Structure 1
Amino acid sequence: MISVDAQTQFLGLLGSNLKGSPSCTLHNTLIEKDQLNWLYLPFQTQSLKTCLEGLKALPFIGGNVTYPYKEQIIPLLDDVDPLVKKVGAVNTILKKKNLWFGKNSDVGGFTNGYAHLEWNNKDVLILGAGGAARAVLAGIERLNCGSIYLFNRTYSRAVQLAKEFPITPLHSLKEWKHLENSIIVNTTSVGKNSDHTPWKDDRSFKINQIVIDIIYKQTPLLVKAIADGAKTINGLPMLVHQAAISYGWWTNNSKATSHFVDLLFKHFHFEQNHYECSRRI
């Protein structure tokens, strides 16, 4: 049990709707195992600037940033690392000598969380064009896949991303080749707290396709993919891996990231290999 006293330092998650987020449980588990006098808390706010100013006045040493503030927080920080400049999104903040820095562990979280899948030369379809999509695209660049396509409801945002990443923007999903051995990745929040799906296509998924939804629980998209016979995987691997990377930054112990991942998977009885995990949820 974590106790709080006058010397306790705080970390937290900043977002506009944190209902159901497991981040506090994940990080406080690591904090307790390391016997640190830290506490990770949720900071749900509709005013990012006001919230961050308040936290700066407290013994707050870092935290995570989630929807819709991953891009909005950048100008409020003192500096960001090169990967943030490439991705255009921050999901981790940390304090160093009274200065606030922004980093992105989503990229490594995606790459490490799904590295066990077969990406080589496979066509990939990305759904969404927000901060999460940018992180996923940066991660996919490390996985040696084939052609990358992107569909977003607002086509202009897809075109903008095509100027920064080697992707083909789609006007509609009908333009997607829908190849048998392809991978579909949903980076939107559609389906997180609703029965809606970002898949606006009458075609069924195929048996040898892999459908990834970076939402960390079962979603309508994954339900459809399972019904169609496709292989599916949710966002839990990415969540755990990015949490471990962030924790390594706060503790200045990045070399122990794989150890942190093992602790989280074992503590919560998650399976390291989440291939087809959604079939069993």
Structure 2
Amino acid sequence: MKIDAATSLYGVFGNPVEHSMSPAVFNAAFESLGISSVYLGFRVTDIRSGMDAVRGLGIHGVSITVPHKETVIPYLDEIDPLAARIGAVNTVIHRDGKLLGFNTDASGAIEALRAAADPAGASVLLIGAGGAARAVGTALVEEGALVAVTNRHEERGLGLCRDLSGSRWVPLDRIDREGFDIVIQTTPVGMWPHFGESPVSPSLFREGMVAMDIVYVPEETRFLQEARACGCRIVFGTEMFLNQAAAQFRLFTGQEAPIDTMRLALRNGLAERIQGRTP
């Protein structure tokens, strides 16, 4: 694929961002379809400056990850209705001089979860209260799930409950006293480089429960390992990642994503990461 002055630039903005598999996945997709585009990782500490850079450098689009999914919103010109309901953005498109915000986390999470369980009418514990939790929680509520929220910081968790219609708050020290059908871990706990950490005790898990972690580096986190050992059905974060990335690709290019190519690039990248335990 030829790289020249006409090549379109895309990227992911986050902090940290070294763990991200997005560059490998998107660049493989661009190459497979012969699209002259490049996708890079940018460690961004000041999201306002990051959005100024998108405008000033003519970057065509960016993925937004931790910790900027909520704080990016004031620096955008328009927000998609779903992203507005969620209160978080994970995709920014630079079009006709305007920065447009979207959220593909919500659909990506529900699509991944449906492979293991129907969320409609299910009792779901949502661990976390950040931008990803907002996306997953909003999607769950709209699917008819009965959502409970727990979080290390109570005030932030209660704030999310207020925004998720019909949801309720459960303190971390009480979550193992209730029987949930589905547990979804949305925090960065257990993500590279903090292998081996989990936000909850294994006492939470029950046989037959569905446990999902949105962390995908490593693919099988301690949270999922302990859930599997307790007889839970597990949903890997790689599935949500691929689903939301495919949706981002469509927003970026207007073309269907080559999902098999993207999946292979992700698998290869994760294998290299595990082998070397390096970013």
Pairwise same-fold verdict (TM > 0.5): yes
Kindly state the Cα deviation for residue 190 of structure 1 after the two structures are TM-superposed.
Answer: 0.8
Which residue in the other structure is 1:265 paired with?
Answer: 263
Q: What TM-score, normalized to structure 2?
A: 0.87
Q: CA RMSD in A?
A: 2.0
Alignment of 1:107-122 (within 5 A): 107-119=106-118, 120-122=120-122
Contact residue 151 and residue 173 of structure 1 kept, 8 A: no
Kindly state the Cα deviation for residue 228 of structure 1 after the two structures are TM-superposed.
Answer: 2.1
Which residue in the other structure is 2:197 paired with?
Answer: 196
How big is each residue's C-alpha offset from its partner over 1:196-249, in whole Å with a ceiling of 9 and x where there is no partner? Answer: 2110x4625222011111001221211221222222222111100100101101
Contact residue 176 and residue 205 of structure 2 kept, 8 A: no
What is the DSSP-based 3-state SS (H/G/I as helix, E as strand, rest coil) of the residue aligned with 2:39?
strand
Contact residue 21 and residue 266 of structure 2 kept, 8 A: no
| Structure 2 segments unaligned to the other structure (5+ residues) | 269-279
Higher helix share: 2
Go from structure 1 to structure 2 and tell me whether the alpha carbon gap of 1:269 and 1:202 turns closer, same or farther (over 3 Å shift): closer
- Of residues 64-73 and 134-143 in structure 1, the stretch that sits farther from structure 2 once superposed is 134-143
Identity of aligned residues (%): 27
How big is each residue's C-alpha offset from its partner over 1:28-64, in whole Å with a ceiling of 9 and x where there is no partner? Answer: 1111122111111111122222233223222311110
- Of residues 56-65 and 261-270 in structure 1, the stretch that sits farther from structure 2 once superposed is 261-270
> 2: distance between equivalents of 1:30 and 1:262?
9
Contact residue 116 and residue 233 of structure 2 kept, 8 A: no
Kindly state the Cα deviation for residue 261 of structure 1 after the two structures are TM-superposed.
Answer: 3.0
Which residue in the other structure is 1:237 paired with?
Answer: 239
Q: Which residue of 218, 226, 229 maps to 2:228?
A: 226
Contact residue 14 and residue 64 of structure 1 kept, 8 A: yes
Contact residue 155 and residue 170 of structure 1 kept, 8 A: no
Kindly state the Cα deviation for residue 268 of structure 1 after the two structures are TM-superposed.
Answer: 5.2
Which residue in the other structure is 2:45 paired with?
Answer: 46
Aligned letter for 1:123? S
Q: In the alignment, is residue 163 of structure 1 matched against residue 165 of structure 2?
A: no
> 2: distance between equivalents of 1:109 and 1:226?
22
List structure 1 segments (4+ residues) > 6 angstroms apart after TM superposition.
none
Contact residue 202 and residue 226 of structure 2 kept, 8 A: no
> 1: distance between equivalents of 2:204 and 2:141?
27
Aligned letter for 1:132? A
